[in-house]
Amino acid sequence: MHSSAVAMPVKRMIQLNKLFRGQFLRCIFSSRLSRSQSNLTADRYNVKRGPYGSVSQDDIGVFRNMLEPHRVVTDATELEAYNEDWLRTVAGQSKVMLKPRNTDEVSTIMQHCYKKNLAVCPQGGNTGLVGGSVPVFDEVIISTQLMNKIFSVDTLSGVMICQSGCILENLNKSLSEHNLIMPLDLGAKGSCTIGGNLSTNAAGIRFLRYGSLRGSVLGIKAVLADGTVLDTMTSVRKDNTGYDLKQLLIGSEGTLGVITEISLLTPIKPACVNLAFFGADSFEDLTSMMKLARRSLGEIVSAIEFLDHDCMQEVQTQLGYSNPISRYPFYMLVETSGSNAQHDEEKLTVFVEKCLESALAKDGTVATDLGKIEAIWSLRETIAEALKKRGYTYKYDISLPTNEMYKLVEIMRDRMEGLCTVYGYGHLGDGNLHLNLVTDEYDQEIMSKIEPFVYEYTSEMKGSVSAEHGLGFKKKDFIGMSKHSSAVSVMQQLKNLFDPKGILNPYKTIPSS
């Protein structure tokens, strides 16, 4: 890792001295609050319980025999954190959480739940943002937190085989010892699991470089509704034999099976990483700089992200971060990763000069050492946390044509004037807008002014109502805004085939047929 002082023609040096992202996020995730502020999902959304069995004392006894007693959690206080989502916007009423250690134990649990018609909710790090990771009623929570073994890392091919409960950041650290990295990175890295990442097909800030997680997964092991173990594990990259069943499980949000093991292709760790941070007057200037970045940085660009000033202000006010440059309406991060520090820095220097000379960027700074890079990334990666501290977040995660992306934020500011604060940020390089609206607390009238309007707008723009977070509980009824009815119908048939009793994560992802 190159760690020399900044050698770029920038207007201002970074003066940040903040905690590294990882440390910061671990603090956030270790301080869960009580559930009292959020309403039960079933009440707030008026959901009717499905025709499932209820967990009895006999069932608890069976689970205790299957697992060690301490891996069957029934204590109401302990269960609170697993019944409520990270955003503190939905809450279930589960009476039991199970902590299996391996595929066989998950299979035995599912065999029993299938026989007794007990609904289940698979849970990884519980960092999901669409209400998919927590029960709605009394589903049995199957937590993967003890399934955290790395079985092997092949340093020649880069193939890693591990259990699904491994935490993303831990995997990245272990791979780093072999000069490898995970193909994805996101703000929840200190808590989210690779199984949760696959189940939501999570994207994050490395998507621009390494593409969809779907392309990096070589194989999975998953337990189906009746306890059958579906084994598609392989370490080969090329395999065209029959249907690619693992792709059905990826992004299925726990509705088709519980993923237990993963074979993943991991990239070589870049030898040098640099980060440029700019201030700009308009969103149009950001898109022009993005065009310039793609042209002049070419293969070394690894991330292009943006935030508006309202986000910056919340990160400063709620979390105490400082803006390394002056105040501008928009900010942009351009990261480069490569194998030759001198080559990358020369290219980045030319790019930064062009941005400043053309006045697309009004101010900027470049970080080349890890501490400063981490500190600048924190400004972007902790927006979700800052907004959560501010109040109730109505969170939208949509794909739109890149040059039109910010228009929706402006439309919503007009539409919601005086009712809530509207924020825009996201993965600019991927055409993925994070539109967030915040009020002091949940308000049904405000909600009905936002939805379905946001989804209808997105659909008219031929975008996607879920770019990366999935549909979960909150968005399942809007799938039709992004998928043709013929596709939804085949999904419903697949769901019936995989899970005829509908016990796997009910009330989520696709509307029942």
Which residues contact ligand FAD (rule: CB under 6 A)?
Answer: 86, 121-129, 132-133, 144, 164, 186-188, 192-193, 195-197, 199-200, 202-204, 253-254, 258-259, 384-385, 468-469, 472, 505
Q: Which ranges of 39-75 does DSSP label H, i.e. alpha helix? A: 41-44, 57-66
Q: Report the C-alpha gap between 197 and 213 in whole angstroms.
A: 8
Pick one of ligand FAD, ligand MLT, none as the site partner of residue 131 (Cβ within 5 to 8 A by kind): none
Name the residue whose CB lies closest to ligand MLT: 384
Report which of 298, 384, 284, 287 is spatially closest to residue 348, judged by C-alpha positions.
298
Nearer to ligand MLT, 202 or 360 (CB): 202
Nearer to ligand MLT, 385 or 499 (CB): 385
Pick one of ligand FAD, ligand MLT, none as the site partner of residue 123 (Cβ within 5 to 8 A by kind): ligand FAD
Residues between 415 and 474 that touch ligand MLT (CB under 6 A): 434
Q: What is the DSSP letter of 504?
A: B
Q: How far is the CB of 385 from ligand MLT (least distance, A)?
A: 9
Nearer to ligand FAD, 195 or 364 (CB): 195
Pick one of ligand MLT, ligand FAD, none as the site partner of residue 429 (Cβ within 5 to 8 A by kind): none
Pick one of ligand MLT, ligand FAD, none as the site partner of residue 67 (Cβ within 5 to 8 A by kind): none
Q: Report the C-alpha gap between 454 and 374 in whole angstroms.
A: 33
Pick one of ligand FAD, ligand MLT, none as the site partner of residue 266 (Cβ within 5 to 8 A by kind): none
Pick one of ligand FAD, ligand MLT, none as the site partner of residue 258 (Cβ within 5 to 8 A by kind): ligand FAD
Q: Which residues are CB-contacts of 17 (< 8 A; sequence separation ≥ 6)?
A: 375
Pick one of ligand MLT, ligand FAD, none as the site partner of residue 196 (Cβ within 5 to 8 A by kind): ligand FAD
Pick one of ligand MLT, ligand FAD, none as the site partner of residue 197 (Cβ within 5 to 8 A by kind): ligand FAD
Pick one of ligand MLT, ligand FAD, none as the site partner of residue 383 (Cβ within 5 to 8 A by kind): ligand MLT
Instruction: Give just the sign of the alpha carbon dihedral 371, 376, 379, 381.
Output: negative
Structure tokens at 496: 């019936």
Nearer to ligand MLT, 137 or 321 (CB): 321
Q: How far is the CB of 197 from ligand MLT (least distance, A)?
A: 12
Structure tokens at 74: 């029934």
The secondary structure of 473-489, three-state, reads CCCHHHHHHCCCHHHHH
**Cα angle for residues 417, 420, 426 (degrees, 5° grid):** 105
Nearer to ligand FAD, 110 or 258 (CB): 258
Structure tokens at 194: 């690779």
Report which of 205, 197, 202, 136 is spatially closest to residue 165, judged by C-alpha positions.
197
Q: 196 to each of 73, 125, 129, how far by Cα in Å?
A: 21, 7, 12
Q: Burial level of 424, CB count in 10 A (0-12/13-18/19+)?
A: buried
Name the residue whose CB lies closest to ligand FAD: 196
Q: Helix, strand, or coil here: 431?
A: coil
CB atoms within 10 A of CB 102: 14
Q: How far is the CB of 228 from ligand FAD (least distance, A)?
A: 15
CB atoms within 10 A of CB 468: 24
Q: How far is the CB of 384 from ligand MLT (least distance, A)?
A: 3
Q: How far is the CB of 395 from ligand MLT (least distance, A)?
A: 6
Q: Residue count at the site for ligand MLT (CB under 6 A)?
A: 5
Q: Are 459 and 483 in contact (CB under 8 A)?
A: no
Does residue 397 touch ligand MLT according to CB under 6 A? yes
The correct pick among 110, 130, 379, 384 for binding ligand MLT (CB under 6 A) is: 384
Does residue 187 touch ligand MLT according to CB under 6 A? yes
CB atoms within 10 A of CB 511: 14
Nearer to ligand FAD, 103 or 336 (CB): 103
Q: What is the radius of gyration, based on Cα positions, of the chain?
A: 23
Residues in the chain: 513
Q: How far is the CB of 124 from ligand FAD (least distance, A)?
A: 3
The single residue listed with the structure tokens 């002082």 is: 5
Q: How far is the CB of 214 from ligand MLT (least distance, A)?
A: 18
Q: Report the C-alpha gap between 11 and 325 in whole angstroms.
A: 9
Nearer to ligand MLT, 188 or 479 (CB): 188
Across the chain, how many H-helices and E-strands are there? Answer: 18, 16
Pick one of ligand MLT, ligand FAD, none as the site partner of residue 254 (Cβ within 5 to 8 A by kind): ligand FAD
Does residue 55 touch ligand MLT according to CB under 6 A? no
Q: Helix, strand, or coil here: 332?
A: strand
Q: How far is the CB of 172 from ligand MLT (least distance, A)?
A: 17
Q: Which residues bind ligand MLT (CB under 6 A)?
A: 187, 383-384, 397, 434
